[in-house]
Amino acid sequence: MIKIDLITGFLGSGKTTFIRKYAKYLEKKGEKICIIENDHSSVNVDLMLLDDIRSKNVNVEMIACSCCSDKSSRLRLYRSKLITIIMLGFNRVIVEPSGIYDIDEFFDCLYEEPFDDWYEIGNAITVIDSNLEDDLSEESNFILASQVSCAGTILLSKVQELKNNKKEAIEKVKNHIKKALKNIRCNKKIDNIIISKPWDSLTDDDLEKIRNSSYEKTSYVKESAIRNNKYKTFFYINLNISKNELINRIHKIFADKRVGNVIRIKGFIQRNNKWVKVNATKKNLKIMESNVGQGIILVIGECMNMKFVNGYFPEAVAIENKN
């Protein structure tokens, strides 16, 4: 049977960065891997960020359809992709969904015939930013907790960026997770499944532990946060501005309460025939040159006002997509 891993994490947590490290380790151990970028939108920036790890043993596929807002349509695309993968000789599949994701979509498919004869659920890994915001909305806390509810490993990201008392900051994140779990009446125990060391310090033993950490589906009270669809993505195409101007506008967007709750901004601009990649949350902004890219900036959040966000990108073509 083909093992299939689910790697979840709220917006900007660092799922794609971890997958790069994890896939390289699995390849070193002799596995043939297919990574599925499973996004509800028609544009997947993260797919390009994995392009350079493709090899004869590592492939990257995408499932995306901006018109598939209902669960049945998304599952149909997901099943079709899994059938295709069976014929390609992979022995491990890694699924990276959108940060706004209903985990039941993953399990519902794999519990059905004939997929339960072909695939074996390997691991559920949840990546959480160690700089997690204190004031997440009720809906965002629900998504965070629901993803943790099935995890065999909780992996804290960006630990090396923590300032002052790291131990205290990590304990604060743990308490946030526990409170979010309590709010959805989930009795998941997390203390023994959290890895809170900088990723550059992860050893082969650590990665082997993650590789065999499995999953644990713990019951919780389901909310309608995802179904209510407060989460949206705005696409800004062909944005022709300088790197410094982009940074300035991103800071202003996060500070402007009129735009709504912007959670993440990511994408690429092209300057002097070179791609510039941006990845920003309220607490963290990274911008660097990239060998690959696509002329698009994504603004992702909840209860956003497109009129005010558009005002920051008047040069670009604007498109709305509900997650």
Which stretches does DSSP call E strand in the chain? Answer: 2-9, 33-39, 58-64, 92-97, 119-129, 153-157, 194-195, 231-237, 261-271, 274-280, 285-290, 296-302, 317-322
- Give burial (CB, 10 Å; 0-12/13-18/19+) of 90: buried
pLDDT value of position 229: 61
The backbone region for 158, taken as left when phi is positive above 0, alpha when psi lies in -120 to 50, beta otherwise, is left
What is the pLDDT at residue 228?
59
C-beta of residue 176 within 8 angstroms of C-beta of residue 135: no
Beta bridge partners of 319: 235
Question: What CATH class is the domain 231-322?
Answer: alpha beta
pLDDT of residue 72: 76
Nearest to 297 by CA among 245, 261, 257, 220: 245
| pLDDT one-digit tens code per residue, 100-117 | 788 888 998 898 889 999
Q: Say if CB 285 and CB 247 are below 8 A apart.
A: yes
Q: CB–CB of 3/92 below 8 Å?
A: yes
- pLDDT (tens place) for every residue of the chain, 323 residues total: 999 999 999 888 999 999 999 999 999 999 999 999 876 555 567 677 787 888 999 999 888 655 555 667 778 888 999 999 999 999 999 999 887 788 888 998 898 889 999 999 999 999 999 999 888 999 899 999 999 999 999 999 999 988 878 999 999 999 999 999 999 999 999 999 999 999 999 999 999 999 999 999 999 998 655 555 688 899 999 899 999 999 999 999 999 999 999 999 999 999 888 899 999 999 889 998 888 888 899 999 999 999 999 999 999 999 887 65
d(CA 147, CA 152): 11
CATH architecture, domain 2-211: 3-Layer(aba) Sandwich (3.40)
Contact (CB, 8 A) for 127 and 21: no
Could you state, in order of their start, the residue ranges of all structural domains in the chain?
Answer: 2-211, 231-322
Alpha helices in 192-289 (DSSP H): 204-211, 243-255
What is the radius of gyration, based on Cα positions, of the chain? Answer: 19
The whole-model pTM stands at 0.90
